[in-house]
Structure 1
């Protein structure tokens, strides 16, 4: 499969005619090629977007909404095709892509298509001064959207949809590891009637194509989801140009379990929150903290459930965990298992690479549970981003809070308790951008999403995203 850049509504080869291999994680084989784009390709995309901006930014809200809804409908009608493409490119189970990734991508476009029609400006009557102040929210212009490989189309559209809805033109770069569904989105945009140049998709490495987007002086905003170190580099690069930045970065999320929880619901959800998408979700609860009164029972029950998870062929509807996204990533995750052993942690389950019959070259590993005695160990402080969780006990609410907050990250937290007063106390004090209580990954697209500390800057979702992708201008009118 040969992927091309999508510029000015057309698919074109990279200007340097350089290509990268694209691997199928399920079997480790090359099955396609993608452009190794450079600054020249980004400049071509920028000129295309610049030429389209005046038309798109002056399109009525109703027309913008109509086109975005049409994109949403086309995503839904191509569910099977897109889900299979996502699985082949990423390694995740097809069933997961069909139930989560593609439906959510469609929902992103539909939500922001409707949200833009309800996004109102403020006005203030300056009493006694015979003046009215009102605020215009205008599109920024040309914006850059850079998305990760773990939820490829899901997070790609999470950025693109509000940017387009707000009237901007977009230069987007999907991960070079998972480019296929972004490539397929180009045809959908054409079919939906999106004007040429409004969205441009550049494929390639972050160090070349991504860097060119970030450092382009006339791309005025960058929305990025990915690793914390890359986010820091983007911030350093963008700061002298005073670009707007939205950075959703890493997480090392605590899952805090008290003895008064709904135990069976907690247990089932915790298995899912630990290993969904092979643990390759920034919101997975990778540090499980359990009240001492139920710790031994939880340990036994949790490990038993984890051992029953099926790792294997992503196209098998009974598969729980597919392949990790790439060989380098698999090696990185396995390296953390070695670190845990060096720190005298106890491997309760898993910890090994797997060879799956008929998929021997694939990047599979066992879901892994590690018991630790200290929160300072590497696996409790560093983002692993794989099917690996640690468990440890706590004795008090204060200790649980201390353990939960004692990392450089602050993306999400999960709290299991039926004590309302405890819920309110702890939710307020947990250093996280989102706190789930007695649930996990329940999302309402109207709510703000993002992290604290090294988990990022800014918020996505709802009107927060539309505020990010617009510039507010105050106008004072004296009468």
Structure 2
């Protein structure tokens, strides 16, 4: 079972690891409580505080399973992913509820993310039937030369708390369908959600050891995955600081690695933009999920001709957003996911004011006394922001928008590129020439015209430029490039 039989209170689950096809408590017996960010005094689960020995067992199980797993056809592996997708979809309400209670996003968003997880599984189930190589003309007339692909072996998956279903699934699903086995370290903050996902893989009938889950501190389990000699590839989503350590550790021992890290994503509002649509996109892209998305809009760069009009429309709508518990149907914006994230967001709001930006609205705890026990921050909008300020340069991961004025589109694009990040960027315009210029000159892995920055299509490649990634791509058919190696075959009678 996903929850330990040894829990003293069945309403507060004690989560187990999943190793070799079995639910196992951490070897140490230690667990850490996780709270509901909307009511910090409410414990929602006890996550394993695993040690390196737990990880070693998981890697050994994945190694033992990988040879039989890779011998299955892509169609056979895909059939098991289809079963997992059906199970995940059938439990959308349960998983959505767990996600909202663990990390705060609204129930509607949580259920939508779960549905997306099922769609990702089905997409990659279908990938099991796609071509994996090419026939190449050989110089020898009697020879046949072609390429095929070989799985990496054991893949380590390190996933964050902000999308506890979609991100691990878009890593695990392609790893599996291309013939790898997996050791997954989910975020401890969303351990209950992770265990419910793992239960779907278990009940779908995947062979023992093909997928393993070990929950614990990042410095122990995450770093352990990066340096473990039995793990052949590491895929990571999280902060830049941790991602760089993971990449350096994997590189030092010759393992393949893939990093998806931070963003400081701009939306540009051109003089000819539809301002109503642009305001809606800025709010949705920047404040949905309490701004806790790597593709969230953070910098709002507005051409001078429409700056004041846009600002007024933005403020009018931001002040109508309802902050509250994500389980409340009327809530638009939930809490920050943890006390640490809450304090980080408030710290950046203080720093923005200290550095000379003008806080126009929000940026404080709501007045509603019923929210006093949660990590709530009203959505903040800053004016008079320059590209040198911390709130314009550093990833906040919270409901904070920084307004920056530009003379024209040329300066707006320069400002958009003035960052160490390059994940996502958006432009609102009605001019085709503006759109083409933006697409050609913007340094970001995902560029969107007349659409918000926070939107990732599961069938399309996703990843960043500059400091936002390791320059690899996730999702879509691009995923095969990381999870497999090309093998060139030359055959002669």
TM-score range, shorter chain: over 0.9
For 1:264 and 1:342, the matched residues in 2 are separated by: 31
Residues 356 and 362, structure 1, Cα contact 8 Å, conserved in 2: no
What are the within-5 Å matches in structure 2 for residues 433-448 of structure 1? 433-440=445-452, 441-448=454-461
Equivalent in the alignment of 1:9: 21
Residues 115 and 462, structure 1, Cα contact 8 Å, conserved in 2: no
Q: Does 1:336 align with 2:348?
A: yes
CA separation of 1:270 and 1:118: change in aligned 2, threshold 3 A: same
1:423-464 CA-partner distances (Å, limit 9, x unpaired): 112211100000011012443322211011110111101121
CA separation of 1:110 and 1:300: change in aligned 2, threshold 3 A: same
For 1:60 and 1:218, the matched residues in 2 are separated by: 24
Please point out which of 352, 357, 363 is paired with 2:375. Answer: 363
For 1:147 and 1:373, the matched residues in 2 are separated by: 33
SS at structure 1 position matched to 2:333? coil
Please point out which of 322, 336, 339 is paired with 1:324. Answer: 336
Which segments of 5 or more consecutive residues in structure 1 lack a partner in the other structure?
Answer: none
Report the alpha carbon displacement of residue 207 of structure 1 after superposing the two structures with TM: 0.4
Residues 383 and 402, structure 2, Cα contact 8 Å, conserved in 1: yes
What are the within-5 Å matches in structure 2 for residues 367-386 of structure 1? 367-386=379-398
Residues 277 and 322, structure 1, Cα contact 8 Å, conserved in 2: yes
Which segments of 5 or more consecutive residues in structure 2 lack a partner in the other structure?
Answer: 1-12
For 2:193 and 2:71, the matched residues in 1 are separated by: 29
Equivalent in the alignment of 2:481: 467
Give TM-score, length-normalised by structure 2: 0.95
Report the alpha carbon displacement of residue 372 of structure 1 after superposing the two structures with TM: 2.7
For 2:163 and 2:198, the matched residues in 1 are separated by: 18
Q: Does 1:186 align with 2:201?
A: no
CA separation of 1:342 and 1:316: change in aligned 2, threshold 3 A: same
Query: Which sits farther off after the overlay, 139-148 or 419-428?
Result: 419-428
Q: Does 1:398 align with 2:401?
A: no
For 2:183 and 2:208, the matched residues in 1 are separated by: 12
What are the within-5 Å matches in structure 2 for residues 262-277 of structure 1? 262-277=274-289
Q: Does 1:86 align with 2:115?
A: no
For 1:62 and 1:295, the matched residues in 2 are separated by: 54
Residues 44 and 102, structure 2, Cα contact 8 Å, conserved in 1: no
SS at structure 1 position matched to 2:189? coil
Residues 45 and 192, structure 2, Cα contact 8 Å, conserved in 1: no
Report the alpha carbon displacement of residue 131 of structure 1 after superposing the two structures with TM: 3.2
CA separation of 1:361 and 1:139: change in aligned 2, threshold 3 A: same
SS at structure 2 position matched to 1:254? strand
Residues 119 and 463, structure 1, Cα contact 8 Å, conserved in 2: no
Give TM-score, length-normalised by structure 1: 0.97
SS at structure 2 position matched to 1:363? coil
For 1:139 and 1:315, the matched residues in 2 are separated by: 42
Report the alpha carbon displacement of residue 358 of structure 1 after superposing the two structures with TM: 3.6
1:375-402 CA-partner distances (Å, limit 9, x unpaired): 1100000000000010011112221111
Residues 251 and 257, structure 2, Cα contact 8 Å, conserved in 1: no
Q: Does 1:222 align with 2:234?
A: yes
Please point out which of 55, 70, 79 is paired with 1:57. Answer: 70
Q: Does 1:310 align with 2:334?
A: no
Aligned residues: 478
1:161-184 CA-partner distances (Å, limit 9, x unpaired): 111111110000111111211111
SS at structure 2 position matched to 1:353? coil
What are the within-5 Å matches in structure 2 for residues 23-62 of structure 1? 23-29=35-41, 30-62=43-75
Equivalent in the alignment of 1:456: 469
Residues 132 and 148, structure 2, Cα contact 8 Å, conserved in 1: no
SS at structure 1 position matched to 2:296? coil
CA separation of 1:220 and 1:256: change in aligned 2, threshold 3 A: same
Q: Does 1:197 align with 2:209?
A: yes
Equivalent in the alignment of 2:293: 281
Report the alpha carbon displacement of residue 467 of structure 1 after superposing the two structures with TM: 1.9
Residues 76 and 103, structure 1, Cα contact 8 Å, conserved in 2: yes
SS at structure 2 position matched to 1:118? coil
CA separation of 1:268 and 1:305: change in aligned 2, threshold 3 A: same
Equivalent in the alignment of 1:237: 249
For 2:223 and 2:368, the matched residues in 1 are separated by: 37
Please point out which of 109, 112, 123 is paired with 1:96. Answer: 109
- Displacement over 6 Å in runs of 4+: none
Query: Which sits farther off after the overlay, 128-137 or 331-340?
Result: 128-137
For 2:320 and 2:198, the matched residues in 1 are separated by: 40
For 1:469 and 1:8, the matched residues in 2 are separated by: 21
Report the alpha carbon displacement of residue 367 of structure 1 after superposing the two structures with TM: 0.4
CA separation of 1:344 and 1:442: change in aligned 2, threshold 3 A: closer
Query: Which sits farther off after the overlay, 347-356 or 403-412?
Result: 347-356
For 1:330 and 1:445, the matched residues in 2 are separated by: 30
Q: Does 1:138 align with 2:167?
A: no
Report the alpha carbon displacement of residue 476 of structure 1 after superposing the two structures with TM: 1.8
Residues 143 and 492, structure 2, Cα contact 8 Å, conserved in 1: yes
